[in-house]
Structure formats: structure tokens, C-alpha cells
Amino acid sequence: MENNNEISGKPEINTLVHFQEWPAISIYMPVSRIGDPQDSLRYKNFVTQVETRLIDEGMRTTEARSLLEPEYDLAYDTAYWKHLGADGLAVFGSSRSFFRYPLPVSFRERVTVGQRYHIRPLIPLLTDGRYLVLALSRKQLRLFQGDRYRLEEIELPGGTPENMSEALQLDMEQQLQYHAGSAPGGPSGRKAAIFHGHGGGADEQDEYIQRYFQIIDRALFPLLEDPECPVILAGTEESQASYKLITRSQTILPQGIAGSIGELSAEILHSKAWGIAEEYYLQAERSAVKGLQNSLGGDKVVSDLQSVLTAAFDGRVENLFVAEDEQVWGFFDPDKRQAVVKDKNNGKVFELLDEAVFWTLSKKGTVYVRKRQDMPLDTLICARVRF
């Protein structure tokens, strides 16, 4: 059984995190979006490495070759590599199935065979940075959905006016229905038609814009109240300020994109939007780092592997920090609260840093994967515990 899709989010990653069965095969590699012949050659070499490890660890040669035969075939499928359209490829395999994920992020080359999948490079995808961009314009209201890798325009929710003229016309019709028969001679229709026009003074124009924003804000709920999806406004500074005054949304970010987005390329618009969203998402990590460093010297910080593993298994880890490219192989005995480190990945063992990640995520903790030089403490792994 094969899967050649892109990882869609937390549920799928969590499925990979909880897998435990030898052989759990993980392959990470950077690839070329335009199709580099070296990609297929490198993949064949990685599959050969996996086959060697499987045989060394007790699998029969014929069984190992049969398990990996589709991956060898893939290495010779030039069309697959030419049209991959990704920056990185993550592959997870077992005796049951193989899953291949072309992803918009480059990976360091890595091959592991153990009791669990090596999922640490995917941890950033758990906080992929979802956000919305609401482009405010009198002529055309537009809505975009994005993350760190892409930004695409999406349809407005049903019933949302696409521009100010449509919004005020809708408002006029609603007022007519509400006041039908209530005014002598029926002049309300003529008055509403005047409200719909665009020749009034500055105060009247401000009133029209405020009414327009009230109408679209009402139509966009509950889309704008997802606490896990902040909203970035785009448009003139005046439009952004006006909308912030009337919106009920608590997810609007302070910084917006000034000007008309119609004048920006898709790449520049995404770059500007992600720059704002990334800063928002980094606040939580900075706060976690500060919390750990402020707790040094007490019993809320653990920084040796055995203590971290024990705390993670017990569900006490609030924030875990782990080095990005490091590996420590061995076993953890939860009954004895003891970690046994082996010299290398040889035999049916666990990668212990990933094991700490697994238990932290399983017990509702948060994991931050950082480069070795960016760790909050001079250690491969550390954590702030809840109790």
C-alpha cells in the first residue's frame, strides 16, 4: 500500500508520531523542483542503505528485497522525479505500507530504521503558521488563506458582498423590506437609493465605508474568530484602521499590508504576509524560551536526557526543546526510569530524542525543534516541566 500525498496537517503527523513497529523506515532528502537526475540516484542509494540495515538486523534478504522493490522501481521512474514539484521528500515505510510526502521544505539527508519513525524534521509542520489575509477594497473584497509555504485566494463565504456597491445595495434592500409600508407615500425607497450613491461629502462617504465594513464583518463570521488562524488586513492604512474600529474579531493582527494587493506579485504578497504571521507565531516560542530561562535554578527545568525522558513519559513536560539534527540511540525503561544509550543505530532500538518528542506530544506538551547553536541551554535536549 502506497501514499503519495502531501502531509495535510496535525492529524496525519500525529498518526506517524504514534507508529511503533520494527522496521520503521524513515528517509529524508532534498529534491529539485525542476527535476535533477541526481535525485533518483540518491534515492536508490538510500533504499540500498535501508536494505542493508534490514538484513543486518535479521530480516531475510528475499523479504527485504520484496519490501523495498516498489522503492527501487521508483528510483527508475524518471517522470516521478521530473514532476515532483517539491523541495524535499519524506518517506515512511514499514512491513505494512509506504508513505511518500513531497513537501515545500528542504531536508537534510537522513536514513533511519528503528522502532518509530523519525518525525522530528516534521515538527515545524505541526505549527505551520495558518493565517488569513483580508484585502479591503471598495471595488473588490478578497480573501486569502496561507501558511509558511503558500498563499492562495479562497472563495468568500456565501452571502458575503464582493464590493461596497453590492454591500450597500443589499443593505438598502433589507431596509426597504424592514420599512415596507411604514412611511407615507413610500419615499423610503428613494432615500435608500441616495444612500447607495457615491456623490456625498466626506462624512457621508465615511458612513458608507463603515456600513460596508459592518456588513462584511458580519458575513465573515465565524471565519474570523478561529484563535488558531490570525487575520492580516491588507489595504490602505485608513481602511485598515476603520475596519479595526468596527470588527468583532479578536484575531486581527496589529500589523497589516499597506496598499493595493493587486499591485503585488503572488510571491511578494506571500512574503509580506508570512513575515507578519511568522512574527506572531514566534512570540509563543520566545515566551517558552523566556519561561525556561527564568526557571533555571529551580525544579521546573530538566536538561539531561534521562530526566527529560522520565518527565515526558510522566506527562510533566510543558515545553520541550530538542536539537534539530542530533541523534542518540538506545532504550528507555519507564518502569526503572532509566535510559540506556547505545553507540549507534544497530539493532531494534529507539532514537531517544525522538522518544522524548513522542511522549511530550502524546501528553499534550509542546515541542520546539531548534538548531544546536540555538538551543536555550548548552545541551541536546531540555524542558520546562509543569510540576
The answer to whether the beta carbons of residues 120 and 354 sit under 8 Å apart is yes
Name residue 321's beta-bridge partners.
368, 382
CA-CA distance, 137 to 259, in Å (whole number)?
10
The CATH-assigned architecture of domain 2-127 is 2-Layer Sandwich (3.30)
pLDDT at 195: 41
In this predicted structure, the answer to whether residue 181 has a pLDDT above a threshold of 90 is no
Torsion-angle region of residue 215: left (phi > 0), alpha (psi -120 to 50) or beta? alpha
Residue given cell 513522542 in the structure block: 358
Q: Grid coordinates 468596527 are at which residue?
A: 246
Q: Is the pLDDT reported for residue 1 higher than 50?
A: no
Q: What gap in Å lies between CA 320 and CA 360, rounded to an integer? A: 7
pLDDT band at 178 (very low <50, low <70, confident <90, very high): very low
pLDDT at residue 188 above 70? no
The number of beta carbons lying within 10 Å of the beta carbon of residue 101 is 22
Instruction: Assign 180 a pLDDT band (cuts: 50, 70, 90).
Output: low
Count the alpha carbons within 13 Å of 56 in the hemisphere toward its beta carbon. 12
For 56-90, b where at least 16 C-beta lie within 10 A, e where not — what string? ebebeeeebeebbeebeebbeeeebbeebebbbbb
pLDDT tens digits, 293-337:
999 988 999 999 999 999 999 999 999 999 998 999 998 888 888
Name 329's Cβ contacts closer than 8 Å, sequence gap at least 6. Answer: 114, 341, 342, 343, 344, 345, 346, 349, 350, 351, 352
Task: Categorize the per-residue pLDDT at 174 as very low, low, confident or very high, splitting at 50, 70 and 90.
Answer: low
Burial class (CB in 10 A: 0-12, 13-18, 19+), 110: middle
Higher pLDDT, 268 or 187: 268
CA 194 distance to own-chain centroid: 47
Domain ranges of the chain: 2-127, 131-284, 295-385
CATH of domain 131-284: 3.30.420
Assigned C-alpha cell, 254: 496589529
More confident residue, 190 or 112: 112
pLDDT per residue over 38-67, tens digit each? 999 999 999 999 999 999 999 999 999 999
pLDDT digit string (tens) for 346-371?
666 789 999 999 999 999 999 999 99
Cβ 382 vs Cβ 317: under 8 Å: no
pTM of the model: 0.75
The CATH code of the domain at 295-385 is: 3.30.1330
